[in-house]
Amino acid sequence: MASTEEPALLWTRPEPGTRRPKFTRDGIASAALAIADREGFAAVSMRRVAAELGAGTMTLYYYVRTKDELVALMDDAIMGEVLIPAAEFPDFWYDALTAVAERTWEVLKRHPWAMQALRGVSPGPNAMRHAEQSLAALATTGLDAAAKVTLLGVVDDYVHGNAFRAAEVHAAREAAANEEAAQFARSQFETGEFPHSEALFGGRDGTEVLPEILSGLSERDRFRQGLAMLLDGAAVRLKLALPGN
Amino acid sequence: MASTEEPALLWTRPEPGTRRPKFTRDGIASAALAIADREGFAAVSMRRVAAELGAGTMTLYYYVRTKDELVALMDDAIMGEVLIPAAEFPDFWYDALTAVAERTWEVLKRHPWAMQALRGVSPGPNAMRHAEQSLAALATTGLDAAAKVTLLGVVDDYVHGNAFRAAEVHAAREAAANEEAAQFARSQFETGEFPHSEALFGGRDGTEVLPEILSGLSERDRFRQGLAMLLDGAAVRLKLALPGN
DNA sequence: CGTCCCCTTCGTACGTTGTACTAACAAAGC
DNA sequence: GCTTTGTTAGTACAACGTACGAAGGGGACG
């Protein structure tokens, strides 16, 4: 009946090619990636990507069903960057988990737009490999399945949240009409509703005060600190060994 | 020179109204909110919101400069939901921070689209009140400014990350052609590249296996567990008292 | 009450987006 | 050579955000 229908899922649908096509999914993905890195995710349109490749717009639809699939391709390319070479993979769970988390963080940092692109795409091969590496990190802990999934989820939450908020702050900082934002903040402070904020900022703009307060602690250091807190707490609750002993 | 120019920032620009207009920013925001809750954030277009209000599309532009400002209005309405009534605000830092985090989590759960809408909007009055409450939670800890900001940042990262990933999973689950996704996963497992994943899932689809593995632990419970891990670890590193003693 | 001003409303139109449909091209098999 | 069909791409349409400017109508004043 419906047995001759093509699969709806990108990953199960083979890349076309009995007669060598001019392009490949990889090529299309990296063209899109280049545009996103250079001009932001919003600049990635089917027309723009096609133009980058010197192709007609509709040509892309031969390799990909919808734009969402193009985005899925981009995401999986990014997940590829996250993978850790087997040789560098640490043995001890704490180090392995930290390595995976830091690598993920670095990639999300390098492609800030990935956070919005990652929304709701079905996991591709590289995403699966990443999940596999995460599980591998916990292989020797003796945790049961539920604990493993929970722990990995918590760490992933933190990593993604950090990258997400950092991208947000970054976007806000460059979009902000800072003078007016500062003025607004001051006017709000005058209502007396914000004693703690006022004490912290002293009536000056957050985007200039925050870096001062956190001086000496890079974004990366703060990420690491939070991750360490999280893993410490997790180790206690799950009765896992910490590197210290 | 430029002294008569209107402020560019939404919050410093008073809502129009020498002669009572037909609508208000609040009314517009809640119409938009209703649409987003009912039909998803993508359904919120200027035309759609105007239609919901029985107004012409361009009428909205009298109350708001761009669609981004409409979104900012929606976000601030949501931040309003996050605020904790003064009477319910706990004294002890651990309880206060937990209360703020859980309330934030609940709201983000109630409006999953908020995670994508929150992208890069400048903080409004309610966002400032939320920040004030967060700082108030740490008022009695004796931490210095840098430690406070770091701790709040880490907690916010985790809360947002959890909500973000939950929304992502939720979106993926209902968008997924599950049968095909499962088949793809199986075919990947057959490469032998995924021993740990295979052991965990046993060749079945993740969306059906994961709930089983985590049975007995609701999403909320897992969120709480992760938050507790984080706060435990933070307390140790920052030498803060924990509720247990 | 009439009149005029300007606050408020909104119709039209433009450029951009994703993509359905369909025609044109070109390489492989006979 | 022709035919088949895999591959490329032009045209067209609906939906989007929003600039522009004309229309409507409520308030103050005569």
Residue A50's pLDDT is: 96
pLDDT, one tens digit per residue, over A25-67 is 999 999 999 999 999 999 999 999 999 999 999 999 999 999 9
pLDDT-derived band at A123, boundaries 50, 70, 90: confident
pLDDT, one tens digit per residue, over B75-120 is 999 999 999 999 999 999 999 999 999 999 999 999 999 998 887 7
CA distances, A41 to each of A44, A45, A136, B72 (Å):
5, 9, 32, 20
Distance from CA of A31 to the nearest CA of B (A): 25
C1' of nucleotide D28: residue with nearest CA:
B19
Return the residue of B nearest to A235 by Cα: B229
Whole-number percent of chain A with pLDDT over 70: 91
Q: Strand C and chain B: which residues 111-170 have CB closer than 7 Å?
A: none
| Angle of helix A46-53 versus helix A25-39 axis, rounded to 10 | 110
- Chain D positions with a protein C-beta closer than 7 Å: 6-11, 15-21, 26-27
Query: B111: exposed, middle or buried (C-beta count within 10 Å: 0-12, 13-18, 19+)?
Result: buried
Residue B215's pLDDT is: 79
Mutate to test the interface with B, among A93, A210, A229, A232 (most CBs of B within 10 A): A229
Q: Which residues contact B72 (CB under 8 A, 6 or more apart)?
A: B10, B121, B122, B124
| Residue A212 pLDDT > 70 | yes
Tokens of B189: 């497992």
User: Can you tell me whether residue A136 is helix, strand or coil?
Assistant: helix
Query: B177: exposed, middle or buried (C-beta count within 10 Å: 0-12, 13-18, 19+)?
Result: middle
| Residue A134 pLDDT > 80 | yes
Rounded-to-integer distance, Cα B49 and Cα B70, Å: 10
pLDDT, one tens digit per residue, over A220-234 is 999 999 999 999 999
Contact by Cβ (8 Å): A184, B11: yes
pLDDT-derived band at B185, boundaries 50, 70, 90: confident
Q: Which of A206, A181, A237 is nearest to B232 (CA)?
A: A237
Q: For residue B19, give the nucleotide whose C1' atom is nearest its CA.
A: C7
pLDDT, one tens digit per residue, over B21-33 is 889 999 999 999 9
Q: Which of A129, A126, A130, A131 is nearest to A25 (CA)?
A: A126
Higher-confidence residue: A68 or A20? A68
pLDDT-derived band at A3, boundaries 50, 70, 90: very low
> What's this model's pTM, rounded to 2 decimal places?
0.92
Contact by Cβ (8 Å): B143, B238: yes
Q: Which of A111, A109, A115 is nearest to A38 (CA)?
A: A111
